[in-house]
């Protein structure tokens, strides 16, 4: 049996909004094994952002347990959580969140700067490797504003890959892109998944979910569906079947 990357059990998260208690998560349990490509789906207000924050170790659950790579995050301090994010998680955001006026290579190197066990030479090598993986080796010195949206997101994915995380956590990573570029990005995710990367992808588009191997549906803070996708679409095939537009 494959190794469990993350395991959550009866996860609850409550917020105090004025005098009212808002229960964003009402007991969520599931686990993700190594090499899975999971999409977490749900409408707004379903609790998926809260769940994402907890999975990303940015927030702690009110109740329940969360084991990431067999580490219980409840026990960890703010600094230890930061270190965990640095070593075990790669974030990909909807708005790319690249540092402006900073080259692609330096953006990719950023997580390694917060890991003092990595030397400068190692850092350069790892950044190059990550950029090769997203096929942007020829854009090293480009600044974010010199790159297209798809290229920026690929830089962001390279940044998520660079520290060899146990899990890539994507938050609506295709939300800001047109459908063609979205498929390109999904093709990249599928490729990375084939290489053995565990990916957790939060989205509200069923179209995107069809590229993953498993989908977890959230509604009102609870899991309403958790199913294996028997018929995984290949983003590459979809891409090639798209009509060639005048731009190309």
Tell whether residue 86 is a contact of another protein (CB under 8 A): yes
**Going by DSSP bridges, is the β-strand pair 89-92/167-171 parallel, antiparallel, or unpaired?**
parallel
Per DSSP, which regions of the chain are E strands?
Answer: 4-17, 20-33, 37-41, 63-68, 71-72, 89-92, 167-171, 199-203, 214-219, 222-228
Count the neighbouring beta carbons within 10 Å of the beta carbon of residue 100: 8
Selected range binding another protein among 18-26, 109-117, 172-180, 189-197, rule: CB under 8 A:
109-117
Q: Binding string, 213-232, against another protein, x = CB under 8 A? A: --------------------
Q: Is 111 in the site for another protein (CB under 8 A)?
A: yes
Bridge partners, residue 233, by sequence: none
Q: 149 is written with which tokens? A: 């949206």
CA proximity to 210, closest of 241, 182, 236, 231: 231
Minimum Å distance from CB 182 to another protein?
22
Asked if 176 interacts with another protein (CB under 8 A), we say: no
DSSP one-letter code for 114: T
Minimum distance of another protein from residue 248's CB (angstroms): 33
Query: Is the CB of 13 or the CB of 214 nearer to another protein?
Result: 13
Cα–Cα distance for residue pair 168/189, rounded to 1 Å? 10
* Closest C-alpha among 28, 31, 25 to residue 6: 31
Contact call for residue 113 and another protein (CB under 8 A): yes
Instruction: Report if residue 87 touches another protein, rule: CB under 8 A.
Output: yes
Kindly indicate which of the ranges 32-40, 62-70, 105-113, 144-152 contains the residues binding another protein, using the contact rule CB under 8 A. 105-113
Name 13's bridge partners.
Answer: 25
Of 115, 137, 213, 229, the residue at the interface with another protein (CB under 8 A) is 115
Taking CB under 8 A as the binding criterion, the range among 20-28, 77-85, 147-155, 212-220 that sits at the site for another protein is: 77-85
Stretch that binds another protein, among 4-12, 39-47, 86-94, 184-192 (CB under 8 A): 86-94
HSE-up of residue 58 (Cα within 13 Å, Cβ side): 10
Report if residue 110 touches another protein, rule: CB under 8 A.
yes
Residue that the structure tokens 């190059």 belong to: 128
* Residue 35 and residue 194 in contact, taking contact as beta carbons nearer than 8 Å: no
Binding site for another protein (CB under 8 A): 53, 56, 58-59, 78-79, 82-83, 85-87, 91, 93, 97, 99, 101-102, 110-111, 113-116, 159, 163
């Amino acid at each position: 049996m494959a190794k469990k990357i993350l395991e959550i059990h009866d996860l609850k998260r409550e917020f105090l909004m004025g005098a009212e208690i808002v229960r964003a998560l009402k007991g969520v349990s599931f686990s993700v094994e190594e090499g899975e490509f999971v999409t977490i789906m749900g409408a707004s207000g379903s609790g998926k952002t809260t769940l994402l924050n907890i999975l990303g170790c940015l927030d702690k659950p009110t109740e329940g347990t969360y084991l990431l790579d067999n580490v219980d995050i409840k026990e960890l301090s703010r600094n230890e959580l930061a270190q965990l994010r640095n070593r075990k998680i790669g974030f990909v955001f909807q708005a790319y969140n690249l540092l402006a006026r900073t080259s692609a290579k330096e953006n990719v190197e950023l997580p390694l700067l917060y890991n003092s066990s990595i030397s400068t030479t190692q850092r350069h090598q790892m950044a190059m490797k990550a950029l090769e993986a997203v096929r942007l080796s020829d854009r090293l010195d480009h600044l974010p504003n010199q790159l297209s949206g798809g290229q920026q997101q690929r830089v962001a994915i390279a940044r998520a890959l660079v520290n060899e995380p146990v899990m890539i956590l994507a938050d609506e990573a295709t939300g800001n892109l047109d459908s063609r570029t979205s498929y390109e990005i999904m093709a990249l995710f599928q490729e990375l998944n084939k290489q053995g990367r565990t990916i957790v992808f939060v989205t509200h588009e069923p179209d995107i979910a069809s590229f993953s191997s498993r989908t977890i549906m959230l509604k009102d803070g609870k899991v309403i569906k958790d199913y294996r996708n028997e018929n995984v679409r290949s983003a590459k095939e979809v891409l090639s079947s798209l009509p060639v537009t005048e731009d190309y």
